[in-house]
Structure 1
Amino acid sequence: MEKATPPPDGVYVPVPTFFKSFDKYGYKQPLDLVAQAEHTLLLARNGITGLVLCGSTGESVHMTQEERIQLISTQKKELVDNGFDKVVLMAGTASQNVDETLKTIADSKAAGADYALVLTPSYFASAGGYSEEGLRSWYVAVANDSLLPVLVYNYPAVTNNLQLSLSLMKQLATHPNIVGCKLSHGNMSHHLIISSSPEIDHSGFRVYTGLGQQLLPLLLSGPGAAGAIDGSAAYFPKTLLRIFALARKITTAGGGVTAEDWKEVHALQCAYSEAEEWVVKFGTVGIKEGVNQMLGISVGLDGGRLPFCETHVRKEFDRYRPAFEAVQEFERKL
C-alpha cells in the first residue's frame, strides 16, 4: 500500500450541526439544512481550507447514520454547486468498534467526504481496559480497510481522559493510510514532539491542533505542523486564517519578516485565545451560541439535541462578550 496523500495544510472548521427547534419538534428535531448551508457557504467564501462534518462539535453521537450521510451529501452539493469544490471535507467517526467505523467511513466517502477523522475508542478506558497494543491494533485494523485516508483524533475530554502516548502516535504515523492527527488537548509538548520528531516522516503525517489558541506555537514548532481544526473558526474564520498566514510567513520568509508581522500575529493570537476560553468552558453548545451571536444564523432556541440544553450558556455569554467583540473588530478589518 502506497502512502496516502495528507489533507492540505490550513484552517479547518469542525462545524456544528444545525437542528430545528426542540420547542416545535421535541427531542427528535430534524436537521436544519437551510441554516447548515448558509453557514457552510459563509465559511467557504471566507477561504476556509476545509470542514469537519459529524465530528464532536457536529454532535455525531446525537445523530442517526442516515442523518450523518444526509448532512455530508447535502453540504458537498452546496459547495460544488457554488464553485467551492476544492473545500476539503473530513467526516467524523465516533464509534467503539471496527466494523461500524469502517461502515461510517464507507458511507461518508459515498456522500462526498475526502478524509476520515477517527476518534479513539474509549468506553472501557477509565476501567483500565485498553493497552497501547490494543489501541494500536484497533487503529491499524481501521486504517487497513478504510476507504478514506485516516486522521487520528485524540480528544481526551470526550474519551474518558484517554491520552494516546507519543510512542503510539509515532507507530501510527508509519501506517500508509494514516496521514495525520488532530490533537484536542493542551499538551503543547506532545504537539511539538509529534510535529518535530525525526522518527516521523512529516511529509506524510500532518499535525493539526484542535484548539485555535495553540495555532501560532504549533506552526512555530516543527515541519509536521499543519494548522488547526478549531471550533471558534465557525464564527471567526478570517482571524484564524490570518494567524495561519502570518505564522507561515514567519517560518518560511527568513529575513522578510518584519516587526509589524510579529506585532500583528501576537495581537491576533492573544485576542483569539481570550475568546476561545468560551469554547474551552462550554464546548459544542458554546460554539453554537457563538455562531448565533456573531453571525446571526439561527441554531434553534436550544442549540443542540438532548441532553444538550443551551439555556445556561446563553445566560453566561455577556461575561465573554468583550473578548468576542475584540476579535469581531479584527474580523471586520480583514
Structure 2
Amino acid sequence: MATPPPDGVYVPVPTFFQPFDKSAYKQPLDLTAQTEHTLFLANAGITGLVLCGSTGEAVHLTPGERAELIRSQKTALVEGGFSNVVIMAGTASQNIDETIGIIAESKEAGADYALVLTPSYFATAGGYSEEGLRNWFTAVAEHSILPVLVYNYPAVTNNLQLSLSLMKHLASHPNIVGCKLSHGNISHHLILSSTKEINHDKFRVYTGLGQQLLPLLLSGPGAAGAIDGTAAYFPKTLLRIWNLSKKISAANGNVTKEEWEEVHALQCAYSEVEEWVVKFGTIGIKEAVKKVLGISVGQDGGRLPFCEGASGGGGPAKQWENFRGAFEAVQDFEGKL
C-alpha cells in the first residue's frame, strides 16, 4: 500500500516564462526565475511543491517541458539542502495511456506523487458516468508508478464534480493516497476527512482553497492541509494557520485565547487576499508574485492565450490598487513570522 504525502502546506507554483518572441510565437521556460521562487518557498518552510498543475499551466507545456521543469527544480532543491521538500506532479490529460506516461516521466524527473486531474472534455455533452470515471481513475492508479492523489477542480473540468460515493470508492484503492478539493463545498471536505468509510491513515484530504484551511483542519482525522496558490507569495502566513489549526485540533480546542484570536485573524486576512485569486486565477497569482516578491514572471504572466491582454483592461495589473489593503494586511503578518 502506498504511503500518503506528509501533511502540511503545498504550493501549486506558477511556471515562469522568458519574454515572448513574437517572430517564433514562443515563450521559453525561465528556469532562473523558477528556481529563485522554489528556493524562496523552501526557505519559508513549505512542505512541498506542485509542479505542472493548473496554476503551472500544464496544458500550455509540452511533455518535454514538463519533465525539464520538474528535473530542474528537484536539482535546485537537493543542491540547496531541501531534499525533504516533496514534489507533486500535475498530470492533466484526457486519456489513460498519456496520463500514465506523464506520471512515469515525472517520476524519472524527480516527482514523488502524481496529482491526477479529472478527465472532462465530454463532460458537458453527457459523455461521462460515475462508472466510467471510477474505471478511468482505477486504471490510472493501478498502472501509475507514483502514488496518486485525485484532483477535483470543477472550474477547469467543465464543472464536472466528482460525487462523494465515487471519492469514497477511490479512497479504498491501495495506490490512491489522497485528494485535492478545489471547490467551495466544505461539506464534501468535512465528510471525506471524517467518514468512517475511509481509512484516514492512508487517504489524506487537502483543500485547494487556503480560505478553507482552518475549518478543514478542525473537521476530522483525514484533514491534511492545503495546496493553495496564495501561498506562492505568502507561505509563512498559511503555514502559521496550519500549525495553529493542528494544535487547536489536537488539543480539542483547549488552547489560549490569544491563539484562537491569532488564527482567526490570520484566516480572515488570508481569506480576504484570496479574493484576488478568485477573481484573477493563475494570471493573478503571477502578478502577485511579481508585485510582492519582485520575481520576473515574463510578459503578461502566462502563455498564449493567457497572455493576450492579461494586463490590460480590467486585468490584474489594472486592479492591483483595489486589493492593496488586503495584500498589505497579510504582508504585515508575513513580515512578523
Q: TM-score over 0.5 for the alignment?
A: yes
Q: Is the 8 A contact 1:79 1:87 kept in 2?
A: yes
Q: Is the 8 A contact 1:105 1:148 kept in 2?
A: yes
Q: Is the 8 A contact 1:37 1:75 kept in 2?
A: yes
Structure 1 residues 208-219: aligned runs within 5 Å? 208-219=206-217
Unaligned runs of 5+ in 1: none
Structure 1 residues 285-304: aligned runs within 5 Å? 285-304=283-302
Report the equivalent of 1:313: 316
How far has the Cα of 1:302 moved from its partner? 1.1
| Partner Cα separation in structure 2 for residue 255 and residue 12 of structure 1 | 25
How far has the Cα of 1:256 moved from its partner? 5.0
Match of 2:334 among 305, 308, 331: 331
The superposition leaves residues 105-131 of structure 1 with CA deviations (integer Å, 9 ceiling, x where unpaired) of 000000000000000000000111100
State the secondary structure of the residue aligned to 1:330: helix
| Partner Cα separation in structure 1 for residue 169 and residue 112 of structure 2 | 23
Report the equivalent of 1:152: 150
Specify whether residues 184 and 25 from structure 1 end up closer, same or farther in structure 2 by C-alpha distance, changes over 3 A only: farther
Structure 1 residues 222-301: aligned runs within 5 Å? 222-254=220-252, 257-301=255-299
Q: Is the 8 A contact 2:87 2:111 kept in 1?
A: yes
Given residue 320 of structure 2, which amino acid in structure 1 is its aligned partner? F
State the secondary structure of the residue aligned to 1:152: strand
Q: What is the total number of aligned residue pairs between the two structures?
A: 332
Report the equivalent of 1:194: 192
How far has the Cα of 1:321 moved from its partner? 1.0
| Partner Cα separation in structure 2 for residue 27 and residue 274 of structure 1 | 37
How far has the Cα of 1:327 moved from its partner? 0.2
Match of 2:52 among 51, 54, 66: 54
Report the equivalent of 1:10: 8
State the secondary structure of the residue aligned to 1:186: coil
Specify whether residues 255 and 133 from structure 1 end up closer, same or farther in structure 2 by C-alpha distance, changes over 3 A only: closer
Given residue 87 of structure 1, which amino acid in structure 2 is its aligned partner? V
State the secondary structure of the residue aligned to 1:116: strand
The superposition leaves residues 38-85 of structure 1 with CA deviations (integer Å, 9 ceiling, x where unpaired) of 000000000000000000000000000000000000000000001000
How far has the Cα of 1:28 moved from its partner? 1.1
Match of 1:125 among 115, 123, 126: 123
State the secondary structure of the residue aligned to 1:153: strand
Structure 1 residues 92-103: aligned runs within 5 Å? 92-103=90-101
TM-score of the pair, normalised by structure 2: 0.97
How far has the Cα of 1:291 moved from its partner? 0.3
Unaligned runs of 5+ in 2: none
Given residue 325 of structure 2, which amino acid in structure 1 is its aligned partner? P
| Partner Cα separation in structure 2 for residue 177 and residue 27 of structure 1 | 40
The superposition leaves residues 102-160 of structure 1 with CA deviations (integer Å, 9 ceiling, x where unpaired) of 00000000000000000000000011110000000000000000000000000000000
Fraction of identical pairs, as percent: 76
Specify whether residues 25 and 226 from structure 1 end up closer, same or farther in structure 2 by C-alpha distance, changes over 3 A only: farther
How far has the Cα of 1:21 moved from its partner? 1.4
State the secondary structure of the residue aligned to 1:22: coil
Aligned CA RMSD, in angstroms, stands at 1.0
How far has the Cα of 1:253 moved from its partner? 2.6
| Partner Cα separation in structure 1 for residue 299 and residue 68 of structure 2 | 23
The superposition leaves residues 281-306 of structure 1 with CA deviations (integer Å, 9 ceiling, x where unpaired) of 11100000010010000101310001
TM-score of the pair, normalised by structure 1: 0.98
Given residue 249 of structure 2, which amino acid in structure 1 is its aligned partner? T
Given residue 261 of structure 1, which amino acid in structure 2 is its aligned partner? E
How far has the Cα of 1:316 moved from its partner? 1.1
State the secondary structure of the residue aligned to 1:85: coil
Report the equivalent of 1:33: 31
Q: Is the 8 A contact 2:149 2:178 kept in 1?
A: yes
| Partner Cα separation in structure 2 for residue 237 and residue 89 of structure 1 | 16
Q: Is the 8 A contact 1:27 1:305 kept in 2?
A: no
Match of 1:220 among 218, 222, 232: 218
State the secondary structure of the residue aligned to 1:90: strand
| Partner Cα separation in structure 2 for residue 26 and residue 264 of structure 1 | 51
